[in-house]
Amino acid sequence: MKVSQRASSVAGSATLALATRAKEMAASGLDVVSMAVGEPDFSTPEAVREAVRVSVADGRVRYTPAGGTASLRAALAGAAGRSRGIELSPSQVVVTHSCKHALNLALVALTEPGDRVLLLEPVWGSYDAAVRWVGAEPVRVAPRADLGPDLDAIAAAARGARGVMLNSPTNPSGFVWSDEELRGILAIAEEHDLWVISDEIYRRLTYGDRPATSPLSLGEGARERVLAVDGASKSLAMTGFRIGCVLGPEAHVQAITNIQSETTGCPNALSQDAWESALLEEPAEVAGWVAAFQRRRDLLVAGLRELGLECTLPGGAFYAFPDATPFLDERGSEGLCADLLESEQLVLVPGSVFGMDSHVRLSYALGEPDLERALKRLGRFLESRRG
Ligand SMILES: Cc1ncc(COP(=O)(O)O)c(C=O)c1O
C-alpha cells in the first residue's frame, strides 16, 4: 500500500518538530533553553478556564452548528468588526478548528489546481505546505532590506498569479505593515485581480506606535477580495484549545462552512464557549502580556545587537529575526542551529524554514531569566565561532 503523492508532499512543520525535540531533551534531564516556541508562556486566563468548567457542568458538550454556535459568531462579528472599524454580520464569520485550519480552508475556498500564490519572504513555513496541499503553486517574493514588503517585486510577480498571503505582524520577523504598504498591495491585488488571505493571528500583539491594520479596514473594495483568518492561540494563550475563524464575504464563509460540515464537522464545543467568554470581556491579563512582550523584545534585541547580530526591531508578534551571516559556514542557518543545540542546548529556528537562510528566528515567549540565559549561551557560542 503506497502513501499518496499528495500526502507525501507534506513534510510536517519544522518548527513544531524542533519545539518537540527541545521538550524531549529537557525531559531527558538536559538544561535546554528553547527559543523555538510559538506559544505564549503565560497561563490561559482564569476567566477562560472558568468558562470551560461552566460549559462542562452545564453539559454543553455536544455537536454545534458546523460553522460555530450562533452566539460565538455574533460575538466574533461584534469584536472582530469593532477592532477593525467595520460592520461585520455573523453571516460573514465561520468558526474553524484553529487559525491554521482557517487558512487551509480559505485556500480551498479560493484556489484552483495550478494557481500561482505569492508568498512574501520571510514567510511562515506552513503557508508553503498549505498552498502545495491544495494543488496550487507557491511563488516566493524576496523582501526589502528591513524585511518589509518590496512592493515593486510583488507587482512584478503578480502577473499571472491568483492570490497572495499576508501576515502582519509577521512570523518570523515581527514586521508590522504600514497602512501605506497595505494600500500598495491592495492596489496590486486590484490591478491583477488577486485574492488576499490576511493572517491576523498576531494582530493584538503590537508594541510601539504602529498598530496592525487589517486590510478589511481599508475600504469596501478591499473587503471584496480579502479573507481574514484569526484565532485565540496567541493573544489569549489558548494554543491547545484549537479554535480560529475566517472573516470574509458570505459566499466564501458559506462554502467553508459546507466543507467543514463534510470533513471535520463542527469546531470543539468547549473551545467555542471559552473563546466567546474572552471576546465578550477581554481577560484582564491580556494588556499586561502585551507590555511584558514589549519589555522582553527590548531586552532581547538590545542583547542581540550587543553580540554583533544585526536585528530590525520587531513591531509585533513575539519573534526576533536577526541576520546571522557573519557566523554561518557552508551549512547555513541549519548548521548554526544544530551546533548551537549541541554545544549550548539552546534551540533557535533556522531562517531556511522561512526562506531566508541568512537569518535565525528567536522566540521571546519565555521569561526574562530564560532570555538572559539564552543571550549568555548565544554570546559564548558566537565568541567561539569568532575565535
Ligand atoms: C503566522 C501564523 N499563523 C497561524 C498560526 C497558527 O495558529 P493556530 O494555533 O490558531 O493554528 C501560527 C502559529 O504559529 C502562525 O505563526
Task: Tell me the pLDDT tens digit for each residue of 232-259.
Answer: 999 999 999 999 999 999 999 999 999 9
Kindly state the DSSP code that residue 244 receives in the 8-state scheme: E
Distance between Cα 367 and ligand 1 center (Å): 21
Nearest CA to ligand 1 atom 16: 171
65 CB burial (10 A radius; 0-12, 13-18, 19+): middle
Looking at the CA of residue 239, tell me the nearest atom of ligand 1.
9
Tally of domains in the chain: 2
Residue 343 lies in a domain: yes
Residue nearest ligand 1's atom 7 by CA: 99
Q: Per the domain annotation, does 380 fall within a domain?
A: yes
Ligand 1 pocket test: which of 35, 76, 99 has the largest number of ligand atoms within 8 Å of its C-beta? 99
User: What is the CATH number for 324?
Assistant: 3.90.1150.10
Task: Look at ligand 1, atom 10, and give the residue with the nearest C-alpha.
Answer: 99
Final residue in a domain of this structure, among 253, 280, 307 = 280
Q: How far is the CA of 100 from the centre of ligand 1 (A)?
A: 6
CATH at 167? 3.40.640.10
Q: Which of 114, 103, 107, 163 is closest to 137 using CA atoms?
A: 114
Residue 339 and residue 251 share a domain: no
> Cβ atoms within 10 A of the Cβ of 268, count?
18
How close is the Cα of 351 to the center of ligand 1, in Å?
17
Assess whether 140 and 247 both reside in one domain.
Answer: yes
Residues 335, 315, single domain; the answer is: yes
Give the pLDDT confidence of 137-195 residue by residue, as tens digits.
999 999 999 999 999 999 999 999 999 999 999 999 999 999 999 999 999 999 999 99
The answer on 289 and 189 residing in a single domain is no
Q: Go through 335-346 and write b for each residue having 16 or more CB atoms within 10 A of its CB, e for each that does not.
A: ebbebbbeebbb
Task: Check whether residue 106 and residue 236 sit in a common domain.
Answer: yes
* 275 within a domain of the structure (yes/no): yes
Q: Are residues 102 and 235 in the same domain?
A: yes
The label of the residue with cell 534585541 reads 301
The three three-digit cell numbers of residue 205, written as one number: 500583539
Task: State which residues form the domain around 246.
Answer: 62-280
* pLDDT, position 19: 75
- Same domain for 204 and 311: no
Cis-peptide into 350, omega within 30 deg: no
Centre of ligand 1 to C-alpha 201, Å, is 6
Strands 33-34, 319-320: pairing is: unpaired
Separation of alpha carbons 154 and 232, rounded Å:
30
Same domain membership, residue 275 and residue 291: no
- Choosing from 243, 258, 280, the residue where a domain stops is 280
231 lines ligand 1 (CB under 6 A): yes
Query: Do 209 and 165 belong together in one domain?
Result: yes
Beta carbons of 178 and 211 less than 8 angstroms apart: no
Contact present, 40 and 318 (Cβ < 8 Å): yes
Find cell 468588526 and name the residue: 81
Handedness of CA 6, 11, 13, 17 (dihedral sign): positive
At 189, list the grid cell: 491585488
Q: Is residue 50 part of a domain?
A: no
In a shared domain, residues 271 and 294: no
What does the alpha-carbon distance between residue 179 and residue 185 come to, in Å, rounded to a whole number?
10
**Rounded to the nearest whole angstrom, what is the distance from the C-alpha of residue 70 to the centroid of ligand 1?**
24
Indicate the Cα dihedral angle 253, 258, 264, 268, nearest 10°.
50
Q: Is residue 323 part of a domain?
A: yes
CA of 152 to the centre of ligand 1 (A): 28
Angstrom distance (rounded) from CA 90 to CA 113: 30
- In this structure, is residue 57 part of a structural domain? no
- Contact (CB, 8 A) for 156 and 29: no
User: Measured between alpha carbons, how far is 332 from 48 in angstroms, rounded to an integer?
Assistant: 43
Domain match, 320 and 372 both: yes
How far is the C-alpha of 33 from the C-alpha of 353, rounded, in Å? 20
363 three-state secondary structure: strand
Write the single-letter amino acid at 12. Answer: G
Give the per-residue pLDDT at 209.
80
Residue 11 CB neighbours (<10 A): 11
DSSP strand pairing (349-350 vs 116-120): unpaired
Q: What is the pLDDT of residue 180?
A: 97
d(CA 250, CA 162): 20
Neighbouring-strand partners of residue 227? 197
- Pick the last residue of a domain from 280, 311, 338: 280
Which residues, in sequence order, are bridge partners of residue 34? 347
Residue 215 grid coordinates: 486590510
Q: Which atom number of ligand 1 is nearest to the Cα of residue 39? A: 14
Does residue 222 share a domain with residue 106?
Answer: yes
Please list the pLDDT of the chain residue by residue as tens digits (387 residues).
Answer: 999 888 887 877 777 777 787 888 888 888 999 999 889 999 999 999 999 999 999 999 999 999 999 999 999 999 999 999 999 999 999 999 999 999 999 999 999 999 999 999 999 999 999 999 999 999 999 999 999 999 999 999 999 999 999 999 999 999 999 999 999 999 999 999 999 999 999 999 999 888 999 999 999 889 999 999 999 999 999 999 999 999 999 999 999 999 999 999 999 999 999 999 999 999 999 999 999 999 999 999 999 999 999 999 999 999 999 999 999 999 999 999 999 998 999 999 999 999 999 999 999 999 999 999 999 999 999 999 876
The DSSP line for 180-236 is: HHHHHHHHHHHHHT-EEEEE-TTTT-B-SS-----GGGS-HHHHTTEEEEEESTTTT
Please tell me the predicted confidence (pLDDT) of residue 387.
65
For residue 49, being part of any structural domain is answered with no
Residue 104 lies in a domain: yes
